[in-house]
Structure 1
Amino acid sequence: MIAVLQVEVRKLNGSLALLLAVLAPALPGLLAALSLISTDRAPQWESILTGFVLPIWSLFLLPMVVAAFTTLVGQIEYRARGWDHLLALPIARWQLFLAKAVVVLAASAMMTLLVLLFAWVGASIGGAIGGHTPLGTLPWARLARTVLLLLAGSTMLVVIQLWTALRFASFVMPLVVGIGGTLVAMAVAMTRTDQAAWFPWVLPLKILSAPNPVPFALFGGIGGLVLLAIMVTDLSRHSFR
């Protein structure tokens, strides 16, 4: 299994998927830098990270980047009929698909951590240029808890996107799913309704805004693991032609 994981990681080297995973998390940091350059007062670190950067990431950028990333991962195999070679190897099919899921989930976690890193760098640079260095200390404990809950809650979203990207040869399907889910989440955010609180694309937003985010994180995490088992079973029986 470790060898299969290593192969999946090597497949990302030099691909657009890896480039996307590194560059996309820098966008909230860029916005934080621009906002500090143009502001007339110094904000608190906590308001920058938990009140500005993470909401932008969880509501819009995370689902869109995951949709694009999983699409690129799926197209690695569909280009030049890579499935024919991959599935002919003397390796259990479930290991192949589980390895892809582990790599994608790990990449999603890495991107969320990079968001915080780039936000810290961007806010520091923007504050230095604008003369409004952020006040207070970094809320490490709250950030760690929020990130862990966010990663757990987004598991279902990531698995659905990966399942769609691997199940369909066309890159259109996973992108449509990602765009549609993101639009629903944005509609929920704008209307502030609770009718779609358990929708996979809404869970990251609820984790940041709900008084008690733990149930949403547990639902996304446990539901994601259940869907992962179903995905591996389904793809193991699927004919990639």
Structure 2
Amino acid sequence: MIGKLLTSDQLKMKRTSLWLVTILVPFVTVLLKLAESLIRYDYYVKEVNKTGDWWTTHLNILIGIMVFAVPVGITITCSVIANTEHQSKGWKHTLALPLSRTGVYVSKFTWAVICSLISALLLTVGLALFGLCLGAKDPIPWIILFKNSFGPYISSLPIIAFQLWLSMVIRNQAFSITIGTVSAMVGLFLNFGDFTRWLPWAYPLQSFAFIMSEKGMVPNPDLLLMNLLGLGIGIVLLFIGAKDFARRDIY
């Protein structure tokens, strides 16, 4: 049954801007990074000469861009997916069919995750092209690029679960988008507290291959932990959201 629901949702989403959002988020992220590197070209030349590591030096600033772009992209993705039903007033028809409400919810969550992983893959390729455009002489560190691209998305599974639930149960998508955008901005500062760093909105900031320390950029010792936390809490929130959706009257 879940396979048929996924296919049905795919057909519905063909007429939406979902795929544009999926492509646009990594494209804009790389474009902003490229513009920043060109504007501060002399600075980066000095930093690369100092550290001897072209990729780590350039990817440092990417953290500040991605930690905001990833949650906002997820917010818009979940809103578009839910709005395919809200806008056409299709909930009454969909939920009247002999389908499991939990299955309907899981299908839409699955598509939100698929779109996020596609964005992560496009970001990986975009970062590799970014290095080639700027003439990076060091070999492309594919493992680091994959970690930097997929890590924040994997740890953002709780955000996907929360934003999808919000978009599904509330018809006015301006509300869910506002909540998601504000949460993304707040997430920039949550990492600095002993308690707040364990809130899901702080996970993307802690899910990069390297982090800044007193010694400069060093490998992130919490990368695996943050990804596992994101995966575990995301599944729990998915279960809670699906149960809540199944008992609600959605119109």
2:99 to 88, 91, 98: 91
Rounded Cα–Cα distance in structure 1 between residues aligned with 2:245 and 2:126? 36
TM-score (norm 1): 0.87
1:53 to 26, 49, 62: 62
SS at match of 1:81: coil
> Which stretch of the first structure deviates more once superposed, 111-120 or 196-205?
111-120
Which residue of 2 is the match for residue 157 of structure 1? 159
Instruction: Please give the per-residue CA displacement for 1:130-157, whole angstroms capped at 9, x wherever unaligned.
Output: xxx1131122223334545433311111
1:171 to 167, 170, 173: 173
Evaluate the alpha carbon distance shift between residue 82 and residue 187 of structure 1 in structure 2; reply closer, same or farther with a 3 A threshold. Answer: same
Evaluate the alpha carbon distance shift between residue 118 and residue 14 of structure 1 in structure 2; reply closer, same or farther with a 3 A threshold. Answer: farther
Residues 99-110 of structure 1 aligned to structure 2 (within 5 Å): 99-110=107-118
- Is the CA contact (8 Å cut-off) linking 1:46 and 1:138 kept in structure 2? no
1:203, CA displacement in angstroms? 0.5
Which residue of 1 is the match for residue 33 of structure 2? 32
Residues 126-205 of structure 1 aligned to structure 2 (within 5 Å): 127=134, 133-188=135-190, 192-205=192-205
Identical columns (%): 22
1:228, CA displacement in angstroms? 0.5
Matched, 1:112 2:120: yes
> Which stretch of the first structure deviates more once superposed, 219-228 or 29-38?
29-38
1:9, CA displacement in angstroms? 1.7
Rounded Cα–Cα distance in structure 2 between residues aligned with 1:24 and 1:142? 20
SS at match of 1:134: coil
Which residue of 2 is the match for residue 221 of structure 1? 231
Instruction: Please give the per-residue CA displacement for 1:43-98, whole angstroms capped at 9, x wherever unaligned.
Output: 5134334x2335421x1001111111111211110113110111122221211111
Rounded Cα–Cα distance in structure 1 between residues aligned with 2:123 and 2:36? 16
Q: What's the C-alpha RMSD, in Å, of the aligned pairs?
A: 2.0
- Is the CA contact (8 Å cut-off) linking 1:153 and 1:218 kept in structure 2? yes
- Is the CA contact (8 Å cut-off) linking 1:63 and 1:178 kept in structure 2? yes
Whichever residue aligns with residue 101 of structure 2, its letter is: R
Whichever residue aligns with residue 155 of structure 1, its letter is: L
Rounded Cα–Cα distance in structure 1 between residues aligned with 2:178 and 2:35? 31
- Is the CA contact (8 Å cut-off) linking 1:97 and 1:232 kept in structure 2? yes
5+ long unaligned stretches in structure 1:
128-132
1:194, CA displacement in angstroms? 2.9
Which residue of 1 is the match for residue 72 of structure 2? 64
1:105, CA displacement in angstroms? 0.8
SS at match of 1:137: coil
Rounded Cα–Cα distance in structure 2 between residues aligned with 1:146 and 1:37? 21
Whichever residue aligns with residue 146 of structure 2, its letter is: A
- Is the CA contact (8 Å cut-off) linking 2:120 and 2:150 kept in structure 1? no
- Is the CA contact (8 Å cut-off) linking 1:29 and 1:123 kept in structure 2? no
5+ long unaligned stretches in structure 2:
49-53, 212-219
Whichever residue aligns with residue 206 of structure 1, its letter is: Q
1:103, CA displacement in angstroms? 0.6
Higher relative contact order (CA 8 A, sep 6+): 1
Whichever residue aligns with residue 202 of structure 1, its letter is: A
- Is the CA contact (8 Å cut-off) linking 2:106 and 2:242 kept in structure 1? yes
